[in-house]
Amino acid sequence: MTGSPTYDDVLAAAQRIRGHAHETPVMRSSTLDAELGAQLFLKCENLQRMGAFKFRGAFNALSRLDAARRRAGVVAFSSGNHAQAIALSARLLGIPATILMPHDAPAAKVEATRGYGGRVVVYDRYRQDRELLGRELAEREGLTLIPPYDHADVLSGQGTVAKELFEQVGELDALFVPLGGGGLLSGCALATRALSPQCRLYGVEPAAGNDGQQSFRSGAIVHIDTPRTIADGAQTQHLGQLTFPIIRRDVTDIVTAGDSELVDAMRFLAARMKLLVEPTGCLGLAGARSMKGQIDGLRVGVVLSGGNVDLARFAELVAR
Ligand SMILES: *Cc1c(COP(=O)(O)O)cnc(C)c1O
């Protein structure tokens, strides 16, 4: 693939992952509709294989490797879900996988990655540059590095989330998508502009690290220190070279959500909808709630991006 990905790449990804990824359900809640005066459609990627949408991009990217690269193996760096997605996809495709994970990654994510057969190498996320470590390891061992978001096949795979959602519920007036490095948002942007062109599209990132919002509004990629937030899947320091131009072109705006709004959303989803969603996975719902009053009467999509959270951690958060 050369140049910036297009909706055709999302379509091709959908073909490759068919039969491997789940078609996740869309859930509704009359309580939520009443609260926001809108019709909400929640796309449940917390029920995706390995517990997050990241399986889509990972499986798509690994499916495209030739036989020699598959034999040599792949390496990924990730705060968790991308790691699990690569480990599971690699196992399904018979490819050896090495995963670089931060020392403080949630235990459930580290265990799951090992459980899928991945070799885990630990680093310090506040001191070491994971991209540099990943590149060094790839070079030394002849591995193919699969980055978590800034990769054409990864973001095209993530875009199948929005493609599937529009196929399930038809066009929408607004769509709220969690934002870390922008693989999910940029992929969903390609599908949104093709399938529901009038839909307002919002990225939602943690308030503690609004580099995406700053980048979107200033027109240049802003780098920040690793933000401290409970949204561990969105602790990215900057948008990508591939993801940013698509976001800048196709997204309506980027809004933020604080940790307490994420906890409120987690509690609501569990108590009222029986859905276990990790803090990062709640960004979209928290973002939609923050725009109460501006989405009256609209058909609103929300991506619940993942559900991987230690149960003890979940209990501690929602009990606060
Ligand atoms: C990775 C991740 C995100 C952010 O995705 P990007 O493609 O980095 O923007 C959001 N939610 C969950 C659950 C994730 O694992």
Burial 51-71 (b: 16+ CB within 10 A, else e): bbbbbbbbbbbbbbbeeeebe
149 touches ligand 1 (CB under 6 Å): yes
The ligand 1 atom at the shortest distance from the C-alpha of residue 148 is: 8
**Cα of 179 to ligand 1 centre, how many Å?**
6
From 79, 89, 186, 215, the catalytic residue? 79
182 touches ligand 1 (CB under 6 Å): yes
232 touches ligand 1 (CB under 6 Å): no
**Cα of 294 to ligand 1 centre, how many Å?**
25
243 touches ligand 1 (CB under 6 Å): no
Minimum CA distance residue for ligand 1 atom 14: 233
pLDDT at 2: 58
To the query of whether residue 78 is one of the catalytic residues in this protein, the response is no
To the query of whether residue 296 is one of the catalytic residues in this protein, the response is no
The ligand 1 atom at the shortest distance from the C-alpha of residue 183 is: 7
Query: pLDDT per residue over 43-83, tens digit each?
Result: 999 999 999 999 999 999 999 999 999 999 999 987 689 99
Query: pLDDT per residue over 186-207, tens digit each?
Result: 999 999 999 999 999 999 999 9
Around 288, how many Cα atoms within 13 Å sit in the side-chain half-sphere?
32
Spatial CA neighbour of 155 closest among 79, 77, 64, 54: 54
* pLDDT at 106 exceeding the cut of 80: no
pLDDT at 176: 98
**How many C-beta atoms surround the C-beta of residue 1 within 10 A?**
13
To the query of whether residue 209 is one of the catalytic residues in this protein, the response is yes
To the query of whether residue 211 is one of the catalytic residues in this protein, the response is yes
Query: pLDDT per residue over 266-307, tens digit each?
Result: 999 999 999 999 999 999 999 999 999 999 999 999 999 999
- For tokens 């399904």, name the residue: 92
235 touches ligand 1 (CB under 6 Å): no
> How far apart are the C-alpha atoms of 171 and 200, rounded to whole Å?
11
**Cα of 195 to ligand 1 centre, how many Å?**
22
175 touches ligand 1 (CB under 6 Å): no
Residues in the chain: 320
> How far apart are the C-alpha atoms of 43 and 25, rounded to whole Å?
6
Q: pTM for the complete prediction?
A: 0.95
Pocket of ligand 1, candidates 54, 56, 190, 283: which has the most ligand atoms within 8 Å of its Cβ, to mutate?
54
> Which pair of tokens denotes residue 279?
């803090």
306 touches ligand 1 (CB under 6 Å): yes
Q: Which residues pair with 177 in a beta bridge?
A: 203
pLDDT at 113: 84
pLDDT at 79: 62
From 54, 153, 156, 182, the catalytic residue? 54
